[in-house]
Amino acid sequence: MATGQLFSRTTQALFYNYKQNPIQRMLDFDFLCGRETPSVAGIINPGSDGFQKLFFGQEEIAIPVHGNVPAACKAHLTADVFINFASFRSAFASTMEALQQPTIRVVAIIAEGVPEGDTKKLIAYARANNKVVIGPATVGGIQAGAFKIGDTAGTLDNIISCKLYRPGSVGFVSKSGGMSNELYNVLARVTDGLYEGIAIGGDAYPGSTLSDHVLRYSNIPQIKMIVVLGELGGRDEYSLVEALQQGKVKKPVVAWVSGTCATLFKSEVQFGHAGAKSGGEMESAQAKNEALKQAGAIVPLSFEHFEQAIKETFDALVKDKVVVPVEHAKPPTVPEDLNVAIKNGRVRAPTHIVSTICDDRGEEPTYAGVPMSTIIEKGYGVGDVISLLWFKRSLPSYCTKFIEMCIMLCADHGPCVSGAHNTIVTSRAGKDLVSCLVSGLLTIGPRFGGAIDDAARYFKEAYDKGLSPDAFVESMKKRGIRVPGIGHRIKSRDNRDKRVELLQKYARTHFPSVRYMEYAVTVENYTLSKAANLVLNVDGCIGSLFLDLLASCSLFTQQEIDEIVDIGYLNGLFVLARSIGLIGHTFDQKRLKQPLYRHPWEDVLYTKAVKMRIEYAGDLYILK
């Protein structure tokens, strides 16, 4: 292991298994230290993704959440520390997965009770691949003024009183996280403070040992003396004894092994940690303290004298001018959380809306990060703006041209379709533009213009499963579902929809692949054998071609494609396009000063209730 410094002011970590308080404490420490960037780059919550809102000082930030370890590592290439808050049941699998990632250099395992066999496998893999494991059963570690792991060093008040917001000259390593906090206070009182501190964890087989970190500290120039706090049980301290005897540690080492009181008990005593149990004379605190003393470490008479020994060692270094004590600097004030801030008159409130598609806070608005001036200067069209605001990326020109074609071809389809009819009736009732537009838009659904998403969804499902056209159609029939995108009230085999033909011609010329559209055409061929009006309509054409656009442009993952269809992006195209026509009909009726509409009697069948049978043929319902 040896090498040197593990962390710096630019170190970033991935945090496994979201825990709000430890992450917020890390971010508050970052702010206290004056870091420019948060130390938590991303969060891993198995099976979920998105983001979590937290505070970085006064500013609220969104930290990305990833569903698995590889995805997080790929997204955050500079994050080389993995903080694992998984339970002891899943700590092994998640830690091993992290160690196998090329970007991860240090892993901290917080969980207690990890099976010893699993821990040994992790240690072997880490050593073979030159990686560092801290824990299991650790609170973590800290580099003063730079980076800390999770709950290390406790509350902000403790961090400030221990002067951990700026680096000192002492390297510290212990098995105990709780006792680490106590010693950080001691170091702040009698030295110029901590430079780096590690709690290796109290399990019998720690991922890294006391001597591993002492040898590291020997290679860090800023560390002038080393303080070690061990405990009875195990033989970890003897590797430090060996290093001291071999002269590998040139800096003063002040050490104490806790547990000397164990001799007062008549039977063997298990202290708090799994490893704090003497297995013989050599594992007793007394034997270890004596061995360390003989090897050259400064070992006090008791723990009560530990602080004095540290002070005397530090003072001697100052006297010899080995250490120039760090001057005290006042840290910034970390904003208090809401419940405390309200009481004290200082508030940081969370935001209520999250926006990822645009930003109007700068000199000019941006769409997905693209300034408005760039959009105008580069001649972006409506399709480009839609690609930025809907898909949050710039799509190739053939894609944006296709989007614009869809809008133009679907803008209107005459006054007789249900949407236009409703808008016309509402306009003639004297209603305002928005009311007229909405009345038409509300008719959009599975039977009118709103089948694009369903068409895409079912065509994709059938194609991806390798269903033949007849198997697909018949399976839909058995499920009682009409095939979305197939059937028309007017168009037929001999009277094709010109819009469909134009879109197909464009796609075949410009798209890298049209496999979904060609599949839809084979479905149409089968349905036409059933009835002449069961043609591929414009909804089905747009739906299948948009699948080809998304799949062939290589800008979307499979998950993103599924999400686009599920959310309703494709129906959004029809809504946007048809809004143009509906607004036109509204203005047309008002310009013509048309009176209130009343449906003519002769167009209504007035009859008593009779039993009737309804048969479905394509897009038509027939009463018999």
Instruction: Tell me the β-bridge partners of 64.
Output: 51
Position 276 scores a pLDDT of 45
User: How far is Cα 11 from Cα 233, in angstroms, rounded to an integer?
Assistant: 34
Query: CA 393, CA 396: separation in Å to the nearest integer?
Result: 10
Give the residue-averaged pLDDT of 430-446. 93
Burial class (CB in 10 A: 0-12, 13-18, 19+), 475: middle
- Pairwise CA distance, residues 37 & 253, whole Å: 34
Interval 77-82 mean pLDDT = 98
| Distances from the Cα of 361 to the Cα of 38, 57, 318, 364, 366, angstroms | 22, 20, 52, 7, 9
Work out the percent of the chain whose per-residue pLDDT is above 90. Answer: 80
> What is the chain's alpha carbon radius of gyration, rounded to the nearest angstrom?
35
d(CA 165, CA 160): 7
What pLDDT, on the 0 to 100 scale, is given for residue 275?
47
DSSP assignment of 271-320 equals -SSTT-S--SGGGSHHHHHHHHHHHT-B--SSGGGHHHHHHHHHHHHHHT
């969370």: which residue's tokens?
350
Q: What is the mean pLDDT of residues 33-41?
A: 96
Distance from C-alpha of 55 to C-alpha of 147, rounded to nearest angstrom? 16
Q: Tell me what pLDDT residue 146 has.
A: 98
* Cα–Cα distance for residue pair 575/111, rounded to 1 Å: 52
Strands 253-258, 358-359: pairing is unpaired
Q: What is the pLDDT of residues 211-224, one digit of tens each?
A: 999 999 999 999 99
Amino acid 423: pLDDT: 97
- Give the predicted TM-score (pTM) of the model: 0.67
Q: What pLDDT is attached to residue 441?
A: 95
Residues 6 or more apart whose Cβ sits within 8 Å of residue 593: none
Grouping H, G, I as helix, E, B as strand and the rest as coil, residue 42 is: strand
User: Taking residues 198-214, what's their average pLDDT?
Assistant: 93
Phi, psi for 72 (deg, rounded to 5):
-65, -45
Mean pLDDT over all residues of the chain? 91
Nearest to 69 by CA among 87, 51, 89, 96: 96
Catalytic residue among 76, 273, 488, 585: 273
pLDDT single digits (tens) 515-569: 999 999 999 999 999 999 999 999 999 999 999 999 999 999 999 999 998 888 8
Nearest Cα residue to 237 out of 280, 284, 181: 284
Residue 554 region by backbone torsions, left for phi larger than 0, else alpha for psi between -120 and 50, else beta: left
305 flagged as catalytic:
no
Question: What angle in degrees, to the nearest 10, is found between the helix axes of 452-465 and 469-478?
Answer: 120
| Per-residue pLDDT at 615 | 58
